[in-house]
Amino acid sequence: MISFHGDDAIKQKYLARVRAHAAADEIVKGVYWQGGKGCAVGCTIHSENHAAYQEELGLPEWLARLEDTLFESLPNDLAKTFPERFLIAIPVGKDLAHVRWRFSLYLLEENTLLIESLQIDCGVKTKVLAAIGYASEVNRNAIASGVWDAAAASMARVAARAAEWSVVRAKESATWDAEWSARVAVWSSWHAAEAAALAAESAARAARSSPAGEQSSHAGRAAYVRYSEKLLELLAD
């Protein structure tokens, strides 16, 4: 699959569409497509069918779901401009498979830094970092070879599940924030083996200093801003 089916006219069609919706202030959160208004996905394809990105725009469904996740989590001012910036960033006629692997690897590297900073049991920390490392290696190999190793990804998910259980068993020796962050970092490594949108959601949760409250909400929003900018960078590269 190549972006926009190799046809710049397709890209320009959808760019014009989202720009028109933006000019009319019709790009909104929480609604796919209703009454002429909608989210990033809705204002692009005029429906809620993420799979339509493949047929209409030559873009993979996982990328549509990732756009959706980031859009809904960005501050409103950035969310309204994101659909246009997203389409602009994507070159015509490009295979985007590597973007998923590179984006997932970026999330995993962020989570590695987070886990290294946590005050948790050293044995548990080692297992969590190993699980993240396995998922990272799967993505690195895919980037290098251009082929996704499903068997290796399955093994990475097994390691993530084992690391999660280690965190659960050791939670009494860690603060709630540290235990919570470690668990969602493991979930992110699980999802990074396949689902970039879910990995981004988990990674943003892990970036928060606590599971609730204003500080947590601010940290989560800041994480999504970073992730959106990184995705645009990778798409354009």
pLDDT of residue 22: 96
Q: Give the angle 215-231-41 at the CA atoms, nearest 5°.
A: 90
User: Does one domain contain both 24 and 101?
Assistant: no
Residue 224 sits in which domain range? Answer: 97-236
User: Does one domain contain both 184 and 107?
Assistant: yes
User: Does one domain contain both 124 and 69?
Assistant: no
Pick the last residue of a domain from 60, 89, 118.
89
Pick the last residue of a domain from 30, 54, 89.
89
Residue type, 42: G
User: Does one domain contain both 81 and 103?
Assistant: no
Q: What's the predicted TM-score (pTM) here? A: 0.86
Contact 175, 119 (CB under 8 A): yes
User: Does one domain contain both 181 and 198?
Assistant: yes
User: Does one domain contain both 127 and 76?
Assistant: no
pLDDT of residue 217: 59
User: Does one domain contain both 109 and 184?
Assistant: yes
User: Does one domain contain both 26 and 66?
Assistant: yes
User: Does one domain contain both 80 and 179?
Assistant: no
210 burial (CB, 10 Å; 0-12 / 13-18 / 19+) is middle
**In the chain, which ranges are continuous DSSP H helix?**
8-23, 40-45, 52-57, 61-73, 76-89, 97-117, 122-145, 150-169, 176-192, 196-207, 214-236
pLDDT of residue 170: 63
User: Does one domain contain both 155 and 229?
Assistant: yes
State pLDDT tens for residues 51-94. 999 999 999 999 999 999 899 989 999 999 999 999 999 999 99
More confident of the two residues 174 and 153: 153
Matching residue, tokens 């006629």: 93
Instruction: Give dist(CA 178, CA 161) in Å, integer.
Output: 18
Local confidence band at 206 (pLDDT 50, 70, 90 cut-offs): low
Overall residue count recorded for the chain in this entry: 237
Local confidence band at 223 (pLDDT 50, 70, 90 cut-offs): confident
pLDDT of residue 39: 96
Phi, psi of 37, deg, nearest 5 = -125, 160
User: Does one domain contain both 26 and 143?
Assistant: no
DSSP string, 186-221: HHHHHHHTT-HHHHHHHHHHHHSSSSSSHHHHHHHH
User: Does one domain contain both 166 and 197?
Assistant: yes
Query: Please, how many CA atoms are within 13 Å of residue 201, restricted to the half-sphere of its CB?
Result: 14
Domain count, the chain: 2
